[in-house]
Amino acid sequence: MNNRIPVAVQLWSVKDNVAADLPRTLEQLAEIGYEGVETAGLGKTSTAQWKKLLSNSGLVACGAHVGLDALTPGAFDETIETYGEIGCRRFTVPALSETYTSSLDGYRRACAIINIAATRAKKLGCSVGYHNHAFEFQFVENRIPFALMLDCLTTDVEIQLDMGWVYAAGCDGAAYVRNLPGRIQTIHVKAFKPGDEFALVGEDTVPWDHVFTACENAGGTEWYIVEHERYKEHTPMECVRRIHSTLRNMGKA
């Protein structure tokens, strides 16, 4: 049985490259060996051009990070249609504003919006999900918001675990994957190392062997998505190149 999960990259990792030269950026990512990209907005490039560039590079749009506002009832149809033109069927809310995170009621209101969007998306053959940071694991009104969200979000909503942030919060990302079978369809492969915000995957303290084993055995995980946001010695493109090489050495790419 082949449990290999393909590897993509969140384009926020190379956002300056994307802004300067999208065609060359996609070519380089494909040359490195990435199989897909998760978008962080489409910029000023038309969807027709995006579709052409993705096709030419051999990459697929495995998902899109879109703000909660883009999934509200009034904006939902346009969002789905726009990204659908580049072949994207997965929509993930990358974070919530303080409007929602300052209270448990705010989290509940956000979950309600996400639930409605997920129900509509499912009928169209698409999916909606939520991407964590560390703040959802910090007490608000005597409760952990992430636990509240898991209670409030329907099973139609995907949970995109950002492993760097999960472990930064002191939690066990592999255990979440095992305990939420089918819900973790994508994970963010992001490093975390106490005291070193520049560490790359493979130089960090995330127990990647446990994470990958959980993803491959629990069922449902469709993509590993690399994300790296802090740079020091290497350029953004060199960072995602080195991470891909590490994943290849691990037998994951």
CA–CA distance from 133 to each of 96, 137, 165, 170 (Å)? 10, 8, 5, 12
109-120 in b/e burial notation, b at 16+ Cβ within 10 A? bbbebbbbbbeb
Residue 227 pLDDT greater than 50, yes or no: yes
155-178 confidence digits (pLDDT tens) = 999 999 999 999 999 999 999 999
31-86 confidence digits (pLDDT tens) = 999 999 999 999 999 999 999 999 999 999 999 999 999 999 999 999 999 999 99
End-to-end C-alpha distance for the chain, whole angstroms: 17
176-187 confidence digits (pLDDT tens) = 999 999 899 999
pLDDT band for position 136 (50/70/90)? very high
| SS3 (DSSP) at 163 | helix
The amino acid present at 64, given as its one-letter code, is A
Alpha carbon distance 138, 122 (integer Å): 31
The amino acid present at 159, given as its one-letter code, is I
Q: Length of the chain, please?
A: 253
Alpha carbon distance 190, 227 (integer Å): 5
In the predicted model, what is the mean pLDDT of residues 8-28? Answer: 98
Residues whose CB is less than 8 angstroms from the CB of residue 15 and which lie 6 or more positions away in sequence, other chains included: 40, 236
Q: Is 198 within 8 Å of 233 (Cβ atoms)?
A: yes
This prediction's pTM? 0.97
* Complete domains list, the chain, with CATH: 7-249 (3.20.20.150)
Write down the pLDDT at residue 2: 54
Q: How confident is the prediction for the chain on average, in pLDDT?
A: 97
| SS3 (DSSP) at 128 | strand
DSSP assignment, residue 143?
B
Residue 219 pLDDT greater than 90, yes or no: no
